[in-house]
Structure 1
Amino acid sequence: MLEVEINIPGRGIINIKNLVLDYNGTIACDGKVIPSIKEKIEAIHKKGIRVHVVTADTHGTARNQCADMPIEVQIFDHSNAAQYKKEIVEKLGAEQCACIGNGFNDGQMFEACSLSIIVIGEEGCSAKSLMKADIVCKSIEGAFDLILKPSRIIATLRG
């Protein structure tokens, strides 16, 4: 398994083997995957990073919408979503996970992962989770570009 290694001055080395994504509000809007992201997810996958979607699947569309992408989809019960997302990243090895989300239930996942990115997209973002994220992006495309161009992460997070 490949990984992306990022050496951030003043913070240390982050090795990313897994990218954990929220679904609604992050890679999807109103239950439909944002069309521009498929190519970026494939590029991240080609770097050797496993891509996971974790969702309560509010609209019931996640599996179908992600079927033609190299993504592992995990759907869980609507109750206690924050705890479930945190448990998933811990099982994957939180120190080797980056995550991207936008909702209140992403906050615990943000705190657990070695790198967390919040997206302020069409569905907005949780102000409480915003304060727990390492980086804020105005679009999912911008968040994916950080993973694809790690020097941007270094520039943003250096000590």
Structure 2
Amino acid sequence: MLLRIPGQEDIHINHLVLDFNGTIALDGLLLPSVKERLIELARLIKIYVLTADSNGSATRECKGLPVDLHVIGKDNQREEKCSFIRMIPPGVAVMGNGVNDELMFRQADLSIAIIGKEGCATATLMASHIVVKEVVDGLDLLLMHHRLIPTLRK
């Protein structure tokens, strides 16, 4: 996926890394309309869900989705998420809301903070390129990336 934003270099997005709880799920349950958008996006880019799975439901909720689920440990989550971003090839977009997402936001080519019902950690918010209220809005930005132009153009 090629993002052409006036006033800056083109952004190539080949991978999307999503946090689970607070981003694509609330209280451990996948949010409405997320599945359809992930199916559509998976035709364009590789999608990963990276989570500490604090509710123990990520495997069940992601079953049948076109995503690679990676459950991280309970300790050093910030570093583990950041290391994951470094391990995949360039062209990474990320979405998340927790303080453990901050370092991966700083490594990504495009980072979208999700406010959602859980709110968003200030450090992660400050490391983001874009902030949206709901995850479907963030996913729609990638599906209809012309919407990124007014927000990111310089």
Q: Which residue does the alignment assign to 1:107?
A: 102
Q: Residue 157 of structure 1: CA displacement?
A: 0.4
Q: Deviations over 1:68-109 (max 9, x none)?
A: 11010000111111111111111112x310000000010001
Q: Which residue does the alignment assign to 1:62?
A: 58
Matched, 1:20 2:17: yes
TM-score (norm 1): 0.94
Amino acid at match of 1:33: L
Q: Deviations over 1:116-139 (max 9, x none)?
A: 000000111101110110000000
Pairing partner for 2:43 from 27, 43, 46:
46
CA distance in 2, matches of 1:79, 1:42: 31
Pairing partner for 2:122 from 127, 143, 152:
127
Q: Residue 35 of structure 1: CA displacement?
A: 2.4
CA distance in 2, matches of 1:12, 1:146: 18
Q: Deviations over 1:39-60 (max 9, x none)?
A: 000010122x011000110011
Q: Which residue does the alignment assign to 2:82?
A: 86
Matched, 1:30 2:27: yes
Aligned length: 154
Pairing partner for 2:2 from 2, 5, 10:
5
Runs of 4+ in 1 over 2 A off after TM superposition: none
Q: Residue 154 of structure 1: CA displacement?
A: 1.8
CA distance in 1, matches of 2:79, 2:116: 23
Matched, 1:74 2:70: yes
Unaligned ranges ≥5, structure 2: none
- Alignment identity in percent? 39
- Give the secondary-structure state (helix, strand or coil) at the position aligned to 1:123: coil
Unaligned ranges ≥5, structure 1: none
RMSD: 0.8
Q: Which residue does the alignment assign to 1:155?
A: 150
